[in-house]
Amino acid sequence: MNKFLLPILFSVVITVNAQEKTKEDKLDSLFTKNYEDKIFNGNVLIAEKGKIIFQKSFGVADYETKRLLNNATIFELASVSKQFTAMGIVMLEKQGKGKLKYDDPISKFIPELSFYKNITVRNLLNHTSGLPDYIEIFSEKWDKSKFATNKDIVTEFAKYKPEILFQPNEKYEYSNTGYALLGYIIEKVSGQSFGDYLEANIFKPLGMKNTFVYRSRFQPKVVENYAKGFIENDFGFIISPDALGKSFLSYYLDGIVGDGMVNSTTEDLLKWDRSVYTDKLVNEKDKAIIFQGTKLNDGKMTDYGFGWQIAEKKEYGKIAAHSGGWAGYITYIERNLSKDQTIIILQNIDTSKTEIPAQNAMKILNNEKIIVTTLKKGTYSDKELDQFLGIYGAENYPMKITISKEGENLYGQATGQGRFPLQAFENNVFAFDDAGIKFRFNPEKKEMLYTQGKIKVLFKKE
C-alpha cells in the first residue's frame, strides 16, 4: 500500500482562558462536539484524585428503540476485562499454599497442553507466551452452530496443536488466548466459575454492585439499564452484530471469558480505580508487578504489565491504560499513576468514525491547548470536477470505485454497492460523511487517496 502525507487543510486552535472556562466546561465541549460529529456514543467519567470533575452520557443505550443512556448504564467492557482477570490471578498467588505461582508452567493446571514447553502463567499475563490467537483458529476450524467455551479452547488446541509464534519470553505479542486460558486457570484453581470468583473476591468487596460477568448470547437474561452494542455494516448502516447471523464470531465465541465479558458502569470502574490506590485487594509489592512491563530474553522491557498497558510520558508521568473492542463496544480506562487522574470511556456503537477522545481529555486535564483540524468547504467548476471523474482501482484491493458527476455534484460508487453523494471541500477533498469516507484527488498523478476510519488506500485511475 502506498501512502502519502496529507497537509493540514484548515486548523483551529482552541485557546480558552482558564478563568473563563473550567475543565468541566472544556470536557463538555469536547465530548458534545464528538457526539454531534457522530464519532462518540457512550458514557464518560473523568476524575482527579478520586473526585469526579466530569460525568455525562451521550446518545442511546439501544439504537433500535432509541432508549437513552444514563450514568448508571451497564456496558460490556471487552478487553478492559483483562485487568480483572489479571487481578484474580494475583489474588490466587497471594493465597500461597502452592496453589498458584506466576512461574508455574501452564501444564500444571492444563495438562492437556503439556506439549507447550516452558510457557508459564506469567507469560500468559504479560503476552509473552507465543500462543497464537484462538479467534483465528476457531474462525477456521470451529463448528459455528455451537457456542465455544474456555474448555473448548483447551480441547481445540490439544487437538490441532497449533505451533507457537515464538519462544516464551522472546517477544511481546498481544494474545486473547493467554487471557482466556487465565480465566480457565482461575476456575480450575478456585473451584468456582470465573464470574463467581470475581464477584466474591473483587466486585463485592469493592461495592461494585453493577459489575458482573455476563454472556448475553450464551446465557441471556434480563439486565436492566443495559447498553446494547451496535456496529456499522459494509454499507454504512448501524446494525446489531447478531444481524450478521450465528456464524459471526461475536455470537459463537460468546461463551468464552477471561479475555472479555466483564460488564460494568463508569461509576463502578471509578471504585475499581480508587481501590488500586489502597491495599484492600493487594499490597504495594503486588502493584509494582502489576504496573510494570517484563524483561524479555534479550534484556529489553515490554510496555505491558498484568492486564495494563504501561507508558512513561515526559509531560504526564506514569500511565496505565487499556482499551477494548468487541461486538459494538469500544471501551477505555486510563489511570495516570503520577498525577492520580482517571479517564473512563464506555461506548456502544462502533463505526468507521468512532474515536476514543482520551488524548484530548488528558490535554484538558493538564491545561494544554487542543488543536482541532477540520476541512473547509470548497467549490469547483464543471471543468475542475471533470478531472476527478473515472474508475479507480488499487492493487490487492477487492473493489473498484467509480467517480461520476450529476449536475454540480460528484458521486462515488464501489463495486456492487449503491451510489453515494460527495460533499466538496478545498484542496481536492470530497467526503461522504454518513460513512466517514473521504477522497483526496491528485489529478496530475491520476491518483485518489481513500480513507475511512483507520483504512487508507491509494487508488489509481484506470
pLDDT reading at 368 higher than 60: yes
Same domain, 361 and 386: no
Looking at the domain assignment, is residue 35 inside a domain? no
193-217 as b/e: b if 16+ CB within 10 A: ebbebbbebbbeebebebbbbbbbb
Tell me which range, 12-16, 173-177, 349-353, 411-415, is most confidently predicted by mean pLDDT: 173-177
Note whether 212 and 318 are same-domain residues: yes
The pLDDT of residue 436 is 72
Confidence of residue 372 (pLDDT cuts 50, 70, 90): low
| 113 and 218 co-located in one domain | yes
* Domain assignment of residue 19, yes or no: no
Checking if the pLDDT of 9 tops 60, the result is: no
Q: Of 365, 390, 420, at which residue does a domain stop?
A: 365
Indicate the residue among 310, 336, 365 that finishes a domain. 365
Domain that holds residue 395: 382-461
Length of the chain: 462
CATH of the domain at 407: 2.40.128
Q: What is the mean pLDDT of residues 267-276?
A: 98
- Average pLDDT of the segment spanning 327-355: 95
Q: How many angstroms separate the CA atoms of 330 and 50, rounded?
A: 23
Mean pLDDT in residue range 229-233: 94
Query: How confident is the model at residue 2, as a pLDDT?
Result: 30
Distance between CA atoms of 342 and 268, rounded to whole angstroms? 13
Q: pTM here?
A: 0.80
Please check whether residue 215 lies inside any domain of the structure.
yes
Looking at the structure of the chain, the number of domains it has is 2
Last residue of one domain, picked from the residues 301, 335, 365:
365
CATH number at residue 238: 3.40.710.10
User: pLDDT digit string (tens) for 82-128?
Assistant: 999 999 999 999 987 778 999 999 999 999 999 999 999 999 999 99
Question: Among 142-156, 220-234, 256-270, 427-441, whose mean pLDDT is lowest?
Answer: 427-441
- My answer on whether 162 and 307 are in the same domain is yes
Residues 356 and 420 in one domain: no
Q: Which pLDDT does position 3 carry in this prediction?
A: 25
Asked, for residue 393, whether it belongs to a domain, the answer is: yes
C-alpha torsion sign, points 66, 72, 75, 80: positive
Are 329 and 395 in a shared domain?
A: no
Q: Are 278 and 206 within one domain?
A: yes
Q: Is residue 376 part of a domain?
A: no
pLDDT tens digits for 138-163? 999 999 999 999 999 999 999 999 99
Q: Look-up: residue for cell 448502516? A: 237
Question: What is the per-residue pLDDT across 62-79, written as a single tens digit (0 to 9) for each?
Answer: 999 999 999 999 999 999
Mean of the per-residue pLDDT values for the chain?
Answer: 91
pLDDT of 8 above 60: no
Both 360 and 417 in one domain: the answer is no
- pLDDT, average across residues 1-17: 30
Residue 185 falls inside a structural domain = yes
**Same structural domain for residues 127 and 218?**
yes
337 and 392 assigned to the same domain: no
Residue 34 inside a domain? The answer is no
- Would you say residue 45 lies in a domain? no
In this prediction, residue 454 carries a pLDDT of 60
Percent of the chain residues topping a pLDDT of 70: 94
Same domain, 273 and 309: yes
Both 291 and 357 in one domain: the answer is yes
Pairwise pLDDT comparison (405 vs 13), residue with the higher score = 405
CA dihedral 119, 122, 127, 133 (to 10 degrees): 50
Give the catalytic positions in this structure. Answer: 79
